[in-house]
């Protein structure tokens, strides 16, 4: 049997905390999650939590980053199945909106993140999204699929519209109907970009 290195054991501890916290934050929410319960379920101490994440808010931010990265991976997989760059871009936007109906994303990304994190942390997450959208828009412009414009500014408009629509869907009493409306409105807006 091979011995694990200290770095491997630390990473295992970190992942245990992340996975357990993700379950707690998704089910109970940030404010109802009790750190002693979380660390006990993970079989760890509060000291491990503080060592890896600083505090409960730091742990939540790490969980949000994990969820956000997985959302992006899912969007990339959806887009990779579509040959047309324009249709792939639309599919990413539609899929992002559809994610707003998922309970884990509703709770962590669309509710608690706005109550827990400061403006700088939220801005860092948004900048990643804006950058990804901007890159895709630049490609669509280079292919003459959409009109020339400042891709970063346009990405900010699109990101803002998608985020507000996702928030609206997540709080709607009929989220599936809201999703359908949001996709229709998104299509109306984005079709105006076509060259």
> Residue 32's domain is classified under what CATH number?
1.10.10.60
Q: Residue 111 in contact with residue 170, Cβ under 8 Å?
A: yes
Same-domain pairing of 16 and 88? no
Give the domain-ending residue among 20, 35, 54: 54
Whole-number Å distance between alpha carbons of 31 and 107: 11
What percent of the chain is predicted at pLDDT more than 70? 99
Same-domain pairing of 1 and 36? yes
Q: How many domains does the chain have?
A: 2
Question: Which residues neighbour 13 within 8 Å (Cβ) at sequence distance 6 or greater?
Answer: 44, 48, 52
Q: Render pLDDT for 125-157 as a digit per residue (tens, 0 to 9).
A: 899 999 999 999 999 999 999 999 999 999 999
Instruction: Indicate whether 1 pLDDT > 70.
Output: no
Q: Render pLDDT for 76-126 as a digit per residue (tens, 0 to 9).
A: 999 999 999 999 999 999 999 999 999 999 999 999 999 999 999 999 889
Chain CA centroid to CA 153, Å = 20
Whole-number Å distance between alpha carbons of 69 and 8: 22
Strands (E) in the chain, as ranges, are: none
Same-domain pairing of 22 and 79? no
Same-domain pairing of 24 and 76? no
Same-domain pairing of 48 and 69? no
pTM of the model: 0.91
Same-domain pairing of 27 and 96? no
**What pairs with residue 146 in β-bridges?**
194
What percent of the chain is predicted at pLDDT more than 90? 84
Same-domain pairing of 73 and 13? no
> Residue 143's domain is classified under what CATH number?
1.10.357.10
Whole-number Å distance between alpha carbons of 176 and 187: 17
Whole-number Å distance between alpha carbons of 74 and 39: 29
Same-domain pairing of 101 and 184? yes
Same-domain pairing of 45 and 110? no
Domain encompassing residue 23? 1-54
Same-domain pairing of 26 and 48? yes
Whole-number Å distance between alpha carbons of 89 and 147: 15
8-state DSSP, 102? S
Question: Nearest to residue 151, comparing CAs of 132, 131, 137?
Answer: 137
């Amino acid at each position: 049997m091979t011995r694990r290195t200290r770095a491997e054991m630390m990473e295992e501890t970190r992942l245990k905390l992340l996975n357990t916290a993700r379950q707690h934050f998704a089910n109970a929410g940030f404010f109802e999650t009790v750190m002693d319960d979380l660390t006990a379920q993970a079989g760890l101490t509060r000291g491990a939590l503080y060592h890896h994440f600083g505090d409960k808010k730091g742990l939540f931010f790490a969980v949000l980053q994990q969820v956000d990265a997985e959302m992006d991976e899912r969007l990339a997989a959806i887009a990779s199945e579509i040959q047309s760059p324009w249709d792939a871009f639309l599919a990413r936007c539609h899929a992002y909106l559809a994610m707003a109906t998922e309970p884990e994303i509703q709770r962590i990304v669309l509710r608690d993140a706005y109550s827990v994190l400061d403006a700088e942390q939220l801005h860092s997450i948004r900048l990643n999204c804006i950058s990804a959208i901007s890159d895709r828009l630049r490609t669509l412009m280079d292919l003459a699929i959409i009109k020339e414009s400042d891709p970063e500014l346009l990405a900010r408009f699109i990101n803002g519209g998608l985020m507000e629509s996702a928030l609206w869907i997540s709080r709607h009493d009929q989220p599936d109907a809201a999703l359908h409306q949001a996709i229709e409105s998104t299509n109306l807006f984005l079709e105006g970009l076509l060259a």
